[in-house]
Protein backbone atom coordinates (compact mmCIF):
# COMPACT_ATOMS: atom_id res chain seq x y z
CA UNK A 1 0.00 0.00 0.00
CA UNK A 2 1.30 3.47 -0.92
CA UNK A 3 2.25 5.92 1.80
CA UNK A 4 -0.35 8.52 2.75
CA UNK A 5 0.96 11.85 3.99
CA UNK A 6 -0.04 12.98 7.47
CA UNK A 7 -2.08 15.93 6.22
CA UNK A 8 -4.40 13.56 4.33
CA UNK A 9 -4.28 10.74 6.85
CA UNK A 10 -5.31 13.05 9.70
CA UNK A 11 -7.82 15.09 7.73
CA UNK A 12 -11.00 15.60 9.79
CA UNK A 13 -13.75 13.07 8.98
CA UNK A 14 -16.34 14.19 11.53
CA UNK A 15 -17.44 17.56 12.85
CA UNK A 16 -15.86 16.69 16.20
CA UNK A 17 -12.45 16.23 14.50
CA UNK A 18 -12.35 19.84 13.29
CA UNK A 19 -9.90 21.89 15.37
CA UNK A 20 -10.38 25.54 16.26
CA UNK A 21 -13.58 26.21 14.26
CA UNK A 22 -16.25 25.52 16.85
CA UNK A 23 -18.39 28.50 15.80
CA UNK A 24 -18.75 27.15 12.26
CA UNK A 25 -19.26 23.53 13.29
CA UNK A 26 -21.94 24.40 15.83
CA UNK A 27 -23.87 26.52 13.31
CA UNK A 28 -23.85 23.79 10.66
CA UNK A 29 -24.90 21.12 13.15
CA UNK A 30 -27.79 23.25 14.38
CA UNK A 31 -28.87 23.92 10.77
CA UNK A 32 -28.98 20.17 10.08
CA UNK A 33 -30.89 19.38 13.28
CA UNK A 34 -33.46 22.14 12.73
CA UNK A 35 -33.66 21.52 8.96
CA UNK A 36 -32.78 25.14 8.21
CA UNK A 37 -30.39 24.47 5.35
CA UNK A 38 -29.36 27.33 3.10
CA UNK A 39 -28.82 26.84 -0.61
CA UNK A 40 -25.33 28.41 -0.66
CA UNK A 41 -22.47 28.70 1.85
CA UNK A 42 -19.22 30.68 1.67
CA UNK A 43 -16.25 29.60 3.80
CA UNK A 44 -13.60 32.31 4.21
CA UNK A 45 -10.16 32.05 5.81
CA UNK A 46 -6.42 31.54 5.27
CA UNK A 47 -4.93 28.37 3.92
CA UNK A 48 -4.90 25.06 5.77
CA UNK A 49 -7.49 25.81 8.46
CA UNK A 50 -10.25 23.41 7.33
CA UNK A 51 -12.45 25.12 4.72
CA UNK A 52 -12.59 22.24 2.25
CA UNK A 53 -12.56 19.63 5.03
CA UNK A 54 -15.66 21.16 6.63
CA UNK A 55 -17.32 21.33 3.19
CA UNK A 56 -16.74 17.58 2.70
CA UNK A 57 -18.02 16.71 6.17
CA UNK A 58 -21.09 18.84 5.55
CA UNK A 59 -21.67 17.07 2.23
CA UNK A 60 -21.38 13.69 3.96
CA UNK A 61 -23.81 14.81 6.66
CA UNK A 62 -26.39 15.74 4.01
CA UNK A 63 -26.03 12.70 1.74
CA UNK A 64 -25.26 10.01 4.32
CA UNK A 65 -27.55 6.94 4.16
CA UNK A 66 -28.63 7.76 7.70
CA UNK A 67 -28.89 11.47 7.05
CA UNK A 68 -29.21 14.26 7.06
CA UNK A 69 -27.30 13.80 10.30
CA UNK A 70 -24.69 15.62 12.37
CA UNK A 71 -22.63 12.41 12.66
CA UNK A 72 -22.07 10.74 9.25
CA UNK A 73 -21.55 7.01 9.53
CA UNK A 74 -18.41 6.88 7.32
CA UNK A 75 -19.50 3.35 6.44
CA UNK A 76 -22.10 3.77 3.70
CA UNK A 77 -21.19 4.08 0.04
CA UNK A 78 -21.99 7.81 -0.05
CA UNK A 79 -19.68 8.64 2.89
CA UNK A 80 -16.81 6.58 1.52
CA UNK A 81 -17.19 7.97 -1.99
CA UNK A 82 -17.35 11.58 -0.76
CA UNK A 83 -14.22 11.06 1.37
CA UNK A 84 -12.45 9.62 -1.68
CA UNK A 85 -13.76 12.37 -4.00
CA UNK A 86 -15.56 9.94 -6.37
CA UNK A 87 -19.20 10.58 -5.49
CA UNK A 88 -21.31 11.60 -8.49
CA UNK A 89 -23.58 13.82 -6.43
CA UNK A 90 -20.75 15.82 -4.81
CA UNK A 91 -18.66 17.67 -7.36
CA UNK A 92 -15.46 19.37 -6.21
CA UNK A 93 -14.39 22.07 -8.66
CA UNK A 94 -11.12 24.03 -8.62
CA UNK A 95 -12.03 27.64 -9.28
CA UNK A 96 -8.47 28.47 -10.36
CA UNK A 97 -8.53 26.10 -13.35
CA UNK A 98 -12.27 26.22 -14.12
CA UNK A 99 -12.82 29.94 -14.15
CA UNK A 100 -14.15 30.67 -17.63
CA UNK A 101 -17.73 31.60 -18.41
CA UNK A 102 -18.16 28.55 -20.67
CA UNK A 103 -17.31 26.15 -17.83
CA UNK A 104 -19.73 27.90 -15.49
CA UNK A 105 -22.45 27.66 -18.15
CA UNK A 106 -21.83 23.90 -18.39
CA UNK A 107 -22.16 23.71 -14.60
CA UNK A 108 -25.39 25.68 -14.77
CA UNK A 109 -26.79 23.25 -17.35
CA UNK A 110 -26.14 20.22 -15.09
CA UNK A 111 -27.78 21.81 -12.05
CA UNK A 112 -31.30 20.93 -13.21
CA UNK A 113 -30.58 17.18 -13.19
CA UNK A 114 -31.58 15.32 -10.03
CA UNK A 115 -28.94 13.64 -7.83
CA UNK A 116 -28.01 10.04 -8.66
CA UNK A 117 -28.40 8.47 -5.18
CA UNK A 118 -28.15 11.08 -2.46
CA UNK A 119 -30.67 13.62 -1.23
CA UNK A 120 -28.74 16.59 -2.60
CA UNK A 121 -26.52 17.51 -5.47
CA UNK A 122 -23.65 19.47 -3.92
CA UNK A 123 -21.13 21.70 -5.72
CA UNK A 124 -17.94 22.50 -3.79
CA UNK A 125 -15.97 25.26 -5.57
CA UNK A 126 -12.55 25.91 -4.03
CA UNK A 127 -10.73 29.23 -4.56
CA UNK A 128 -13.94 30.71 -5.91
CA UNK A 129 -12.39 34.17 -6.09
CA UNK A 130 -10.45 33.02 -9.16
CA UNK A 131 -13.63 32.96 -11.28
CA UNK A 132 -13.85 35.69 -13.86
CA UNK A 133 -16.44 38.44 -13.62
CA UNK A 134 -18.33 36.95 -16.55
CA UNK A 135 -18.33 33.56 -14.83
CA UNK A 136 -19.70 35.10 -11.63
CA UNK A 137 -22.44 36.87 -13.57
CA UNK A 138 -23.37 33.65 -15.33
CA UNK A 139 -23.79 31.98 -11.94
CA UNK A 140 -25.89 34.71 -10.30
CA UNK A 141 -29.41 33.63 -11.28
CA UNK A 142 -28.80 29.96 -10.60
CA UNK A 143 -27.16 30.75 -7.26
CA UNK A 144 -30.10 32.89 -6.16
CA UNK A 145 -32.84 30.42 -7.10
CA UNK A 146 -31.33 26.95 -7.46
CA UNK A 147 -33.45 23.79 -7.61
CA UNK A 148 -34.35 22.44 -4.14
CA UNK A 149 -32.00 19.48 -4.51
CA UNK A 150 -28.86 21.66 -5.14
CA UNK A 151 -26.43 23.07 -2.55
CA UNK A 152 -23.44 25.31 -3.29
CA UNK A 153 -20.41 25.46 -0.99
CA UNK A 154 -17.71 28.01 -1.86
CA UNK A 155 -14.28 28.35 -0.27
CA UNK A 156 -11.86 31.26 -0.67
CA UNK A 157 -8.79 32.80 0.90
CA UNK A 158 -9.49 36.25 -0.59
CA UNK A 159 -13.12 37.23 0.00
CA UNK A 160 -12.53 40.80 -1.22
CA UNK A 161 -12.19 39.47 -4.76
CA UNK A 162 -15.59 37.78 -4.69
CA UNK A 163 -18.39 39.88 -6.14
CA UNK A 164 -20.67 41.41 -3.56
CA UNK A 165 -23.66 40.04 -5.47
CA UNK A 166 -22.30 36.52 -4.93
CA UNK A 167 -21.58 37.05 -1.22
CA UNK A 168 -25.06 38.44 -0.63
CA UNK A 169 -26.58 35.19 -1.91
CA UNK A 170 -24.56 33.01 0.50
CA UNK A 171 -24.31 32.37 4.20
CA UNK A 172 -20.78 33.50 5.03
CA UNK A 173 -18.58 31.76 7.61
CA UNK A 174 -15.23 33.29 8.58
CA UNK A 175 -12.85 30.58 9.75
CA UNK A 176 -10.09 31.59 12.19
CA UNK A 177 -6.44 30.78 12.38
CA UNK A 178 -5.98 27.85 14.72
CA UNK A 179 -4.40 28.79 18.09
CA UNK A 180 -0.89 27.55 18.84
CA UNK A 181 -1.91 25.43 21.82
CA UNK A 182 -4.53 23.56 19.75
CA UNK A 183 -1.98 22.88 16.99
CA UNK A 184 0.49 21.58 19.59
CA UNK A 185 -2.18 19.32 21.06
CA UNK A 186 -3.06 17.82 17.68
CA UNK A 187 0.61 17.39 16.68
CA UNK A 188 1.30 15.62 19.96
CA UNK A 189 -1.59 13.25 19.24
CA UNK A 190 -0.27 12.56 15.73
CA UNK A 191 3.28 11.98 17.03
CA UNK A 192 2.08 9.51 19.65
CA UNK A 193 0.07 7.58 17.08
CA UNK A 194 3.01 7.50 14.68
CA UNK A 195 5.48 6.52 17.41
CA UNK A 196 7.52 9.74 17.16
CA UNK A 197 9.42 11.19 20.14
CA UNK A 198 9.30 15.00 19.94
CA UNK A 199 9.85 17.52 22.75
CA UNK A 200 7.57 20.43 23.60
CA UNK A 201 9.92 23.12 22.26
CA UNK A 202 10.02 21.35 18.91
CA UNK A 203 6.23 21.17 18.81
CA UNK A 204 6.08 24.88 19.64
CA UNK A 205 8.52 25.68 16.83
CA UNK A 206 6.43 23.70 14.34
CA UNK A 207 3.25 25.42 15.50
CA UNK A 208 4.89 28.84 15.20
CA UNK A 209 6.03 28.10 11.67
CA UNK A 210 2.55 26.96 10.63
CA UNK A 211 1.10 30.44 11.35
CA UNK A 212 -2.28 29.06 12.39
CA UNK A 213 -2.64 26.46 9.62
CA UNK A 214 -3.11 22.85 10.72
CA UNK A 215 -2.29 21.44 7.28
CA UNK A 216 1.03 23.32 7.21
CA UNK A 217 1.86 22.03 10.69
CA UNK A 218 1.14 18.42 9.76
CA UNK A 219 3.13 18.74 6.52
CA UNK A 220 6.07 20.20 8.46
CA UNK A 221 5.94 17.32 10.95
CA UNK A 222 5.88 14.87 8.07
CA UNK A 223 9.00 16.51 6.60
CA UNK A 224 10.78 16.39 9.96
CA UNK A 225 10.05 12.69 10.33
CA UNK A 226 11.63 12.09 6.95
CA UNK A 227 14.63 14.19 8.02
CA UNK A 228 15.27 12.86 11.57
CA UNK A 229 13.29 9.69 11.93
CA UNK A 230 11.63 8.77 15.21
CA UNK A 231 13.30 11.37 17.44
CA UNK A 232 12.92 15.10 16.82
CA UNK A 233 14.36 18.00 18.85
CA UNK A 234 13.90 21.74 18.61
CA UNK A 235 17.27 22.20 16.87
CA UNK A 236 16.06 19.95 14.05
CA UNK A 237 12.99 22.10 13.48
CA UNK A 238 15.00 25.31 13.54
CA UNK A 239 17.63 24.00 11.11
CA UNK A 240 15.08 22.69 8.62
CA UNK A 241 12.76 25.72 8.52
CA UNK A 242 15.20 28.55 9.31
CA UNK A 243 13.36 29.59 12.46
CA UNK A 244 14.76 31.14 15.62
CA UNK A 245 14.31 29.36 18.94
CA UNK A 246 11.90 30.62 21.56
CA UNK A 247 14.77 31.18 24.00
CA UNK A 248 16.68 33.28 21.47
CA UNK A 249 13.61 35.39 20.76
CA UNK A 250 13.21 36.03 24.48
CA UNK A 251 16.90 36.96 24.79
CA UNK A 252 16.76 39.37 21.85
CA UNK A 253 13.61 40.97 23.25
CA UNK A 254 15.36 41.36 26.60
CA UNK A 255 18.33 43.10 24.95
CA UNK A 256 15.98 45.45 23.09
CA UNK A 257 14.07 46.35 26.24
CA UNK A 258 17.35 46.97 28.08
CA UNK A 259 18.71 49.16 25.26
CA UNK A 260 21.72 46.85 24.71
CA UNK A 261 22.80 47.27 21.09
CA UNK A 262 26.07 45.28 20.98
CA UNK A 263 24.51 41.86 21.83
CA UNK A 264 21.81 42.43 19.22
CA UNK A 265 24.28 43.12 16.42
CA UNK A 266 26.33 40.07 17.43
CA UNK A 267 23.24 37.87 17.46
CA UNK A 268 22.15 39.00 13.99
CA UNK A 269 25.60 38.13 12.63
CA UNK A 270 25.36 34.64 14.16
CA UNK A 271 21.88 34.09 12.74
CA UNK A 272 22.97 35.12 9.25
CA UNK A 273 25.95 32.77 9.37
CA UNK A 274 23.60 29.97 10.48
CA UNK A 275 21.41 30.57 7.43
CA UNK A 276 18.35 31.79 9.32
CA UNK A 277 15.59 33.67 7.52
CA UNK A 278 16.10 37.29 8.64
CA UNK A 279 12.79 38.38 7.17
CA UNK A 280 11.03 35.71 9.19
CA UNK A 281 12.92 36.92 12.28
CA UNK A 282 11.34 40.37 11.93
CA UNK A 283 7.90 38.74 11.76
CA UNK A 284 8.69 36.62 14.83
CA UNK A 285 9.81 39.70 16.77
CA UNK A 286 6.65 41.52 15.76
CA UNK A 287 4.57 38.65 17.10
CA UNK A 288 6.61 38.52 20.29
CA UNK A 289 6.22 42.22 21.09
CA UNK A 290 2.56 42.02 20.15
CA UNK A 291 2.17 39.34 22.81
CA UNK A 292 4.14 41.49 25.25
CA UNK A 293 1.82 44.43 24.59
CA UNK A 294 -1.26 42.27 25.10
CA UNK A 295 0.30 40.90 28.29
CA UNK A 296 0.76 44.45 29.61
CA UNK A 297 -2.87 45.36 28.99
CA UNK A 298 -4.46 42.04 30.07
CA UNK A 299 -2.07 41.06 32.87
CA UNK A 300 -1.15 37.84 31.06
CA UNK A 301 -4.71 36.60 30.44
CA UNK A 302 -4.40 33.15 28.76
CA UNK A 303 -7.45 33.84 26.59
CA UNK A 304 -5.81 36.88 25.06
CA UNK A 305 -2.31 35.39 24.60
CA UNK A 306 -1.80 32.70 22.00
CA UNK A 307 1.39 31.33 23.60
CA UNK A 308 2.52 28.45 25.76
CA UNK A 309 2.52 28.77 29.56
CA UNK A 310 6.33 28.98 29.81
CA UNK A 311 6.45 31.88 27.38
CA UNK A 312 3.58 33.58 29.21
CA UNK A 313 5.66 33.69 32.39
CA UNK A 314 8.59 35.29 30.56
CA UNK A 315 6.28 37.90 29.06
CA UNK A 316 5.01 38.83 32.52
CA UNK A 317 8.58 39.25 33.79
CA UNK A 318 9.65 41.42 30.84
CA UNK A 319 6.45 43.44 31.01
CA UNK A 320 7.35 44.53 34.53
CA UNK A 321 10.49 46.26 33.18
CA UNK A 322 8.89 48.42 30.48
CA UNK A 323 5.76 50.35 29.56
CA UNK A 324 3.09 49.96 26.91
CA UNK A 325 4.14 53.19 25.18
CA UNK A 326 7.67 51.96 24.57
CA UNK A 327 6.45 48.58 23.31
CA UNK A 328 4.09 50.35 20.91
CA UNK A 329 7.02 52.28 19.41
CA UNK A 330 8.99 49.04 19.00
CA UNK A 331 6.07 47.35 17.24
CA UNK A 332 5.71 50.36 14.93
CA UNK A 333 9.39 50.22 13.97
CA UNK A 334 9.24 46.47 13.32
CA UNK A 335 6.07 46.82 11.24
CA UNK A 336 7.72 49.45 9.05
CA UNK A 337 10.81 47.27 8.59
CA UNK A 338 8.74 44.18 7.79
CA UNK A 339 7.36 45.96 4.75
CA UNK A 340 10.78 47.18 3.60
CA UNK A 341 12.89 44.08 4.24
CA UNK A 342 11.13 42.20 1.44
CA UNK A 343 12.79 44.48 -1.11
CA UNK A 344 16.05 45.26 0.70
CA UNK A 345 19.28 44.31 -1.07
CA UNK A 346 21.02 43.80 2.28
CA UNK A 347 18.57 42.34 4.77
CA UNK A 348 21.20 42.21 7.50
CA UNK A 349 21.92 45.95 7.25
CA UNK A 350 18.24 46.80 7.48
CA UNK A 351 17.76 44.39 10.39
CA UNK A 352 20.75 45.85 12.27
CA UNK A 353 19.44 49.39 11.94
CA UNK A 354 15.94 48.24 12.86
CA UNK A 355 17.07 46.59 16.08
CA UNK A 356 19.18 49.63 16.99
CA UNK A 357 16.15 51.86 16.53
CA UNK A 358 14.09 49.48 18.66
CA UNK A 359 16.72 49.51 21.43
CA UNK A 360 16.80 53.32 21.40
CA UNK A 361 13.01 53.49 21.45
CA UNK A 362 12.90 51.13 24.42
CA UNK A 363 15.50 53.19 26.29
CA UNK A 364 13.88 56.58 25.61
CA UNK A 365 11.23 57.90 27.93
CA UNK A 366 7.81 58.53 26.42
CA UNK A 367 6.04 61.86 26.67
CA UNK A 368 3.62 60.44 29.21
CA UNK A 369 6.50 59.33 31.43
CA UNK A 370 8.16 62.74 31.22
CA UNK A 371 4.93 64.50 32.17
CA UNK A 372 4.37 62.07 35.00
CA UNK A 373 7.85 62.73 36.42
CA UNK A 374 7.42 66.48 36.06
CA UNK A 375 4.14 66.30 37.92
CA UNK A 376 5.79 64.21 40.61
CA UNK A 377 8.61 66.74 40.96
CA UNK A 378 6.13 69.56 41.23
CA UNK A 379 4.17 67.77 43.96
CA UNK A 380 7.22 66.58 45.94
CA UNK A 381 8.48 68.71 48.87
CA UNK A 382 11.60 70.67 47.93
CA UNK A 383 14.52 70.80 50.35
CA UNK A 384 16.05 74.20 51.21
CA UNK A 385 18.77 75.31 48.85
CA UNK A 386 21.39 75.55 51.60
CA UNK A 387 20.75 71.97 52.74
CA UNK A 388 20.67 70.57 49.25
CA UNK A 389 24.02 72.12 48.40
CA UNK A 390 25.65 71.40 51.76
CA UNK A 391 28.77 69.23 51.77
CA UNK A 392 28.57 65.74 53.37
CA UNK A 393 29.51 65.50 57.01
CA UNK A 394 33.06 64.45 57.79
CA UNK A 395 33.53 60.74 58.23
CA UNK A 396 30.31 59.72 56.53
CA UNK A 397 32.06 58.58 53.35
CA UNK A 398 29.05 59.55 51.21
CA UNK A 399 29.27 61.22 47.83
CA UNK A 400 26.35 63.40 46.86
CA UNK A 401 25.71 63.70 43.10
CA UNK A 402 24.37 67.08 42.11
CA UNK A 403 22.07 67.36 39.11
CA UNK A 404 23.14 69.64 36.29
CA UNK A 405 19.62 70.99 36.09
CA UNK A 406 18.92 74.17 38.04
CA UNK A 407 17.46 73.60 41.47
CA UNK A 408 13.84 74.52 42.04
CA UNK A 409 13.48 77.55 44.31
CA UNK A 410 10.43 79.07 45.84
CA UNK A 411 9.05 81.93 43.77
CA UNK A 412 8.39 85.07 45.77
CA UNK A 413 5.20 86.94 44.95
CA UNK A 414 5.90 89.77 42.52
CA UNK A 415 5.71 93.25 43.98
CA UNK A 416 3.02 95.47 42.47
CA UNK A 417 4.42 97.70 39.71
CA UNK A 418 5.09 101.37 40.43
CA UNK A 419 2.64 103.26 38.22
CA UNK A 420 4.51 106.57 38.40
CA UNK A 421 7.84 104.96 37.49
CA UNK A 422 6.28 103.05 34.59
CA UNK A 423 4.50 106.16 33.32
CA UNK A 424 7.75 108.09 33.43
CA UNK A 425 9.48 105.31 31.51
CA UNK A 426 6.77 105.33 28.86
CA UNK A 427 7.02 109.12 28.48
CA UNK A 428 10.78 108.82 28.12
CA UNK A 429 10.55 106.02 25.54
CA UNK A 430 7.52 107.43 23.72
CA UNK A 431 9.38 108.60 20.58
CA UNK A 432 10.72 105.09 20.10
CA UNK A 433 7.30 103.61 20.81
CA UNK A 434 5.83 105.89 18.15
CA UNK A 435 8.50 104.79 15.67
CA UNK A 436 7.85 101.15 16.48
CA UNK A 437 4.10 101.51 16.00
CA UNK A 438 4.70 103.38 12.75
CA UNK A 439 6.74 100.48 11.40
CA UNK A 440 4.17 97.86 12.41
CA UNK A 441 1.11 99.90 11.32
CA UNK A 442 2.06 102.64 8.80
CA UNK A 443 -1.42 104.16 8.90
CA UNK A 444 -0.94 105.01 12.58
CA UNK A 445 2.33 106.90 12.07
CA UNK A 446 0.68 110.34 11.77
CA UNK A 447 -1.66 109.70 14.69
CA UNK A 448 1.23 108.68 16.96
CA UNK A 449 2.96 112.02 16.20
CA UNK A 450 0.31 113.87 18.23
CA UNK A 451 -0.25 111.28 20.98
CA UNK A 452 1.27 110.95 24.44
CA UNK A 453 0.72 108.81 27.59
CA UNK A 454 -1.47 110.60 30.12
CA UNK A 455 -2.01 108.23 33.04
CA UNK A 456 -1.46 104.64 34.16
CA UNK A 457 -3.71 102.93 36.68
CA UNK A 458 -3.31 99.20 37.20
CA UNK A 459 -3.43 97.53 33.76
CA UNK A 460 -5.00 100.49 31.95
CA UNK A 461 -2.91 103.07 30.09
CA UNK A 462 -4.65 106.24 28.88
CA UNK A 463 -3.10 107.78 25.77
CA UNK A 464 -4.11 111.31 24.82
CA UNK A 465 -4.39 112.54 21.26
CA UNK A 466 -4.98 116.09 19.98
CA UNK A 467 -8.71 116.77 20.11
CA UNK A 468 -8.53 118.75 16.84
CA UNK A 469 -7.78 115.56 14.90
CA UNK A 470 -10.67 113.21 15.61
CA UNK A 471 -9.75 110.98 12.64
CA UNK A 472 -6.35 110.29 14.21
CA UNK A 473 -8.04 109.13 17.42
CA UNK A 474 -10.17 106.75 15.34
CA UNK A 475 -7.03 105.44 13.63
CA UNK A 476 -5.42 104.53 16.96
CA UNK A 477 -8.64 102.90 18.11
CA UNK A 478 -8.85 100.60 15.07
CA UNK A 479 -7.95 96.93 15.44
CA UNK A 480 -4.51 96.62 13.82
CA UNK A 481 -3.20 100.02 14.92
CA UNK A 482 -4.47 99.54 18.47
CA UNK A 483 -2.87 96.07 18.67
CA UNK A 484 0.46 97.49 17.46
CA UNK A 485 0.33 100.19 20.15
CA UNK A 486 -0.40 97.67 22.93
CA UNK A 487 2.40 95.44 21.72
CA UNK A 488 4.94 98.27 21.66
CA UNK A 489 3.95 99.30 25.21
CA UNK A 490 4.21 95.70 26.38
CA UNK A 491 7.77 95.44 25.01
CA UNK A 492 8.81 98.46 27.13
CA UNK A 493 7.13 97.52 30.43
CA UNK A 494 7.45 93.75 30.01
CA UNK A 495 3.78 93.27 30.90
CA UNK A 496 0.54 93.57 28.93
CA UNK A 497 -1.59 96.68 29.30
CA UNK A 498 -4.99 97.75 28.05
CA UNK A 499 -4.58 101.00 26.12
CA UNK A 500 -7.41 103.53 25.89
CA UNK A 501 -7.10 106.44 23.42
CA UNK A 502 -8.86 109.68 24.32
CA UNK A 503 -8.86 113.36 23.30
CA UNK A 504 -6.41 115.73 24.99
CA UNK A 505 -6.10 119.44 24.23
CA UNK A 506 -2.49 119.75 25.44
CA UNK A 507 -1.15 116.63 23.72
CA UNK A 508 0.56 118.44 20.85
CA UNK A 509 2.56 120.80 23.08
CA UNK A 510 3.78 118.16 25.53
CA UNK A 511 5.07 115.33 23.39
CA UNK A 512 8.53 114.52 24.79
CA UNK A 513 11.25 115.69 22.47
CA UNK A 514 8.58 117.16 20.25
CA UNK A 515 9.40 120.77 19.49
CA UNK A 516 6.94 122.47 17.17
CA UNK A 517 4.26 120.32 15.70
CA UNK A 518 5.51 117.24 17.43
CA UNK A 519 8.47 116.73 15.14
CA UNK A 520 10.22 114.66 17.76
CA UNK A 521 8.23 111.69 16.58
CA UNK A 522 9.54 112.19 13.05
CA UNK A 523 13.09 112.16 14.31
CA UNK A 524 12.38 109.10 16.41
CA UNK A 525 10.92 107.33 13.41
CA UNK A 526 14.41 107.03 11.99
CA UNK A 527 15.72 105.49 15.19
CA UNK A 528 16.09 101.71 15.63
CA UNK A 529 13.70 99.62 17.72
CA UNK A 530 13.83 100.35 21.44
CA UNK A 531 15.62 97.98 23.77
CA UNK A 532 15.17 98.15 27.52
CA UNK A 533 17.66 95.40 28.31
CA UNK A 534 20.10 95.00 25.39
CA UNK A 535 21.94 91.69 25.18
CA UNK A 536 25.16 93.06 23.71
CA UNK A 537 26.92 96.42 23.49
CA UNK A 538 26.62 98.20 20.14
CA UNK A 539 29.66 98.22 17.86
CA UNK A 540 31.91 101.25 18.33
CA UNK A 541 32.54 103.63 15.44
CA UNK A 542 35.62 102.90 13.41
CA UNK A 543 38.87 104.86 14.05
CA UNK A 544 38.63 106.55 10.65
CA UNK A 545 35.26 108.12 11.57
CA UNK A 546 36.15 109.03 15.17
CA UNK A 547 37.29 112.57 14.35
CA UNK A 548 34.32 113.56 12.23
CA UNK A 549 31.81 112.11 14.73
CA UNK A 550 32.89 114.19 17.73
CA UNK A 551 30.04 116.05 19.37
CA UNK A 552 27.21 114.18 17.61
CA UNK A 553 24.10 113.31 19.58
CA UNK A 554 22.45 109.86 19.77
CA UNK A 555 19.85 110.90 17.21
CA UNK A 556 22.51 112.12 14.78
CA UNK A 557 24.48 108.90 15.12
CA UNK A 558 21.27 106.93 14.58
CA UNK A 559 20.80 108.70 11.21
CA UNK A 560 24.32 107.80 10.09
CA UNK A 561 24.00 105.18 7.26
CA UNK A 562 26.92 103.05 8.49
CA UNK A 563 25.68 103.03 12.08
CA UNK A 564 22.14 102.23 10.97
CA UNK A 565 23.44 99.30 8.93
CA UNK A 566 25.38 97.98 11.93
CA UNK A 567 22.39 98.39 14.21
CA UNK A 568 20.14 96.54 11.77
CA UNK A 569 22.73 93.78 11.32
CA UNK A 570 23.14 93.11 15.04
CA UNK A 571 19.64 94.19 16.11
CA UNK A 572 21.30 96.68 18.46
CA UNK A 573 20.64 100.07 20.01
CA UNK A 574 22.74 103.14 20.94
CA UNK A 575 22.93 103.56 24.70
CA UNK A 576 25.33 106.51 24.95
CA UNK A 577 27.91 108.41 22.94
CA UNK A 578 31.40 108.88 24.30
CA UNK A 579 33.96 111.29 22.86
Res. 40 pLDDT band, cuts 50 70 90:
very high
Contact between 56 and 17 (Cβ < 8 Å): no
Residues 12 and 150 reside in one and the same domain: yes
Residues 337 and 466 reside in one and the same domain: no
Higher pLDDT, 475 or 294: 294
> 204-218, 229-243, 334-348, 510-524 — which is least confidently predicted?
510-524
Is residue 378 over pLDDT 70? no
The answer to whether residue 428 is domain-embedded is yes
Q: Report the distance separating Cα 119 and Cα 132, nearest Å.
A: 30
**Beta-carbon contacts of residue 74 (< 8 Å; ≥ 6 apart):** 13, 14, 60, 80, 83
Residues 103 and 149 reside in one and the same domain: yes
> 16-25, 50-59, 89-98 — which is least confidently predicted?
89-98
Task: Give me the pLDDT at residue 399, please.
Answer: 40
Task: Give me the pLDDT at residue 186, please.
Answer: 92
The answer to whether residue 405 is domain-embedded is no
Domain, as residue range, for 568? 534-579
pTM tops 0.85, yes or no: no
Residues 515 and 576 reside in one and the same domain: no
> 30-39, 182-191, 225-234, 420-429 — which is least confidently predicted?
420-429
Counted domains in the chain: 4
Task: Give me the pLDDT at residue 31, please.
Answer: 93
Mean pLDDT of 212-230: 89
Higher pLDDT, 486 or 92: 92
Res. 2 pLDDT band, cuts 50 70 90:
confident
The residue from 356, 379, 402 where one domain ends is 379
Residues 122 and 40 reside in one and the same domain: yes
Edge-first strand order for the sheet with 460-466 is 451-457, 460-466, 498-504
The answer to whether residue 480 is domain-embedded is yes
Higher pLDDT, 541 or 221: 221
Residues 568 and 495 reside in one and the same domain: no
Q: How far is CA 371 from CA 291, 368, 377, in A?
A: 27, 5, 10
Is residue 363 over pLDDT 50? yes
Residues 439 and 544 reside in one and the same domain: no
Residues 521 and 547 reside in one and the same domain: no
The answer to whether residue 228 is domain-embedded is no
Q: Report the distance separating Cα 58 and Cα 263, nearest Å.
A: 54
Higher pLDDT, 540 or 106: 106
Residues 442 and 492 reside in one and the same domain: yes
Of 344, 198, 328, 351, the residue nearest 268 (C-alpha): 351
Amino acid sequence: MSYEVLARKWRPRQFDDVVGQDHVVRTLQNAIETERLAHAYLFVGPRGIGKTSIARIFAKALNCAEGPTTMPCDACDACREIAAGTNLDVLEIDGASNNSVEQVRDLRDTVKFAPVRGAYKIYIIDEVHMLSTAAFNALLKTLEEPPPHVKFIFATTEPDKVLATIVSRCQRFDLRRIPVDLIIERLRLVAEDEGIAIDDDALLAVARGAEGGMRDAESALDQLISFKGKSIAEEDVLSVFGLVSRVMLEEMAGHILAGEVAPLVTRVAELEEAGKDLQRLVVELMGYFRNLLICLYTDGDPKALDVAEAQRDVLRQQGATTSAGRVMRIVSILTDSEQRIKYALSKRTLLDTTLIRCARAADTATLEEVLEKLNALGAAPRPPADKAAAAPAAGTGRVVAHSKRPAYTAVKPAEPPDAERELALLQEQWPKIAARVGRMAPLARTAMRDARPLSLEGDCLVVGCNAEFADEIEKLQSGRNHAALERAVKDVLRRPLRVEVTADESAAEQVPGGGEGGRGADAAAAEPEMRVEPEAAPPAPSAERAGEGAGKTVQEWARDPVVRKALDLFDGAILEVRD
